[in-house]
Amino acid sequence: MTVSIGDKIPEATLIEMTADGPVKRTTSEIFGGRKVVLFSVPGAFTPTCSAKHLPGFVSHAAAFKEKGVDEIVCIAVNDAFVMGAWGKDQNAEGKVTLLADGNAEFTRALGLEMDASGYGMGLRGQRFAMIVEDGVIKQLNVEAPGEFRVSSAEHVLSQL
């Protein structure tokens, strides 16, 4: 079942690549007592994700901070090493935190997984964005297959 506005973020552990290597972060530490914008991409280094989705959040990071957002988090069903390399490639450091959901446990707990086997990508996360305040989903924007509108940085910024 897919999460809805008003639901609490499920408990899970995600992985962040740091200068000291991979570090586990729990959803309670990421979302508890904070305002966080979370967005999901089907995969690091994929065309729309690299050309539009992540760059939009990187370029608008200051505007999100001005609206009271404590952290912008991007997740993908990729490993932490790939997410770390993608973050460097996209100049995301200090603007967007890239977290790996390598086994799709968090994505499945949200009910927002998709089967991308037809593209040779296996189980992935749908393209979505949400605003979370103190662990509760306040806005949820899930893209229709093949679209990129409601999960864009500009659209999410307009909801704050």
For residue 7, being part of any structural domain is answered with no
Instruction: Identify the pLDDT of residue 73.
Output: 98
Q: Which of 9, 14, 49, 73 is catalytic?
A: 49
E-strand ranges in 5-142 read 13-18, 21-26, 35-40, 71-76, 97-100, 113-115, 123-125, 128-133, 136-142
Residue 67: what residue type? Answer: K
The total of structural domains in the chain comes to: 1
For residue 60, the domain's CATH number is: 3.40.30.10
For residue 133, being part of any structural domain is answered with yes
16: β partners:
23, 99
Instruction: Identify the pLDDT of residue 135.
Output: 98
pLDDT tens over the chain, length 160 residues: 799 999 999 999 999 999 999 999 999 999 999 999 999 999 999 889 899 999 999 999 999 999 999 999 999 999 999 999 999 999 999 999 999 999 999 999 999 998 877 787 778 899 999 999 999 999 999 999 889 999 999 999 999 9
The boundaries of the domain holding residue 32 are 13-158
79: exposed, middle or buried (Cβ count in 10 Å: 0-12, 13-18, 19+): middle
For residue 48, being part of any structural domain is answered with yes
For residue 3, being part of any structural domain is answered with no
pTM: 0.95
Quick check: is 49 catalytic?
Answer: yes
For residue 147, being part of any structural domain is answered with yes
For residue 51, being part of any structural domain is answered with yes
Task: Provide the token pair at 120.
Answer: 């040779």
For residue 2, being part of any structural domain is answered with no
For residue 8, being part of any structural domain is answered with no
Task: Say how far apart CA 32 and CA 29 lie, in whole Å.
Answer: 6
